[in-house]
Amino acid sequence: MTTPISRVAVIGAGTIGASWAAYFLARGLEVTVSDPAPDAKAATGRFIAAAWPTLQALGGGAGIDPQSWRFEADPVKAVEGADFVQENAPERYEVKNALLPKIDAVLPPEVVIASSTSGLLVSRLSEGCRHPERVVIGHPFNPPHLIPLVEVVGGPTASPEAVDAAMAFYKAIGKHPILLNKEVPGHVANRLQAALWREAIHLVDQGVASVADIDAAVSQGPGLRWALMGQHMIFHLGGGQGGLAHFMHHLLPAVETWWDDLGTPKVDEALQRKLVEGVIAEADGRSIADLAAERDALLREILALRARHADAAAQAAAGPRLDEALEETFPASDPVSVTRAKPTEDITGAA
């Protein structure tokens, strides 16, 4: 499991697979793409070409030819010589259970096979494989070439070595992998999304607000904070100097009453139509391509800002503290006093 990874096979070149291929290529890896669709090669090429300027703007792709990837329609041939396999077949057990044993049969046992599945269980995906211990979940968040998150799940079947290898690989190429200690349908991020969406649908169904205004309640409010911190840390700040402990003492009873009032909508045809009509009105004439381009442009700026902030924080941590530098310049014997400001009281909104 310690073999350096330089060659990656991307099996399945839909939206997720093509995005993975673009990202792997921009990180300097040799990439082979496989997909049975007649236009898969051309579609993947178009996706990589469209994503390449963004990947370069984020620091990838330097000196790399965006056409230097290989296509092989046969997945068994595509994985030959691969050091890592990222599988992105359709989200159905019967499809993946037919594909994974074929790949598994021709790969050395130390090569990890990671599935991009959004919510299937790894213990079921690895059924029929000679080496189920090397099959893990490597679930990205869409679009993989931009969003850092990757959820890694080994479940009861994958070996610790395979899980560690997947975590190390994703970290090495600039991703932010998280490790799930147990398998659960939908993993973590999609379960969180599903919980929020269920209540958003309930609010539409109850006529509390329009689809557009409910979306705005997310994007113009907590969504901005979620781009910076997770919910636990946000509420830790919301507790002021007492942190999360004070937040729970002060506001948990109120939050529990909200939990008790959350809905479980029945999404029948009428409600589906209401949701679709609402989101079309919110799009206001913008096509799916327009919306995706807008999303990706804003994501690029957010990621660039976060990267600059992380670099500045790292430089600050490596350099001398300001008060130490001042004391070096103006020793205590000099008639100069340095007063340290008291921390500003935290007035962050609680919820």
Q: What is the pLDDT of residue 160?
A: 97
Q: What is the block-wise mean pLDDT of the chain (351 residues), using blocks of 10 residues?
A: 83 97 98 97 97 93 95 97 97 97 97 97 97 98 96 97 98 97 97 97 98 97 95 95 94 95 96 97 96 93 90 83 53 40 38 54
- Residues spanned by the domain of 41: 7-180
Characterize 87-106 residue by residue with b for buried, 16 or more Cβ atoms within 10 angstroms of its Cβ, and e for exposed. Answer: bbbeeeeeebbebbbebbee
Q: What is the pLDDT of residue 334?
A: 44
Last residue of a domain, one of 156, 180, 204: 180
Q: What is the pLDDT of residues 260-291, one digit of tens each?
A: 999 999 999 999 999 999 999 999 999 999 99
- Pick the closest to residue 193 from 89, 294, 119, 270 (CA basis): 119
| C-beta separation of 107 from 9 below 8 A | no
Domain for residue 308, yes or no? no
Please state, in angstroms and rounded to a whole number, the distance separating the CA atoms of residues 326 and 180: 46
Please state, in angstroms and rounded to a whole number, the distance separating the CA atoms of residues 137 and 175: 15
Last residue of a domain, one of 285, 312, 344: 285
Domain for residue 274, yes or no? yes
Domain for residue 328, yes or no? no
pTM: 0.86
Asked if 118 and 64 sit in the same domain, the reply is yes
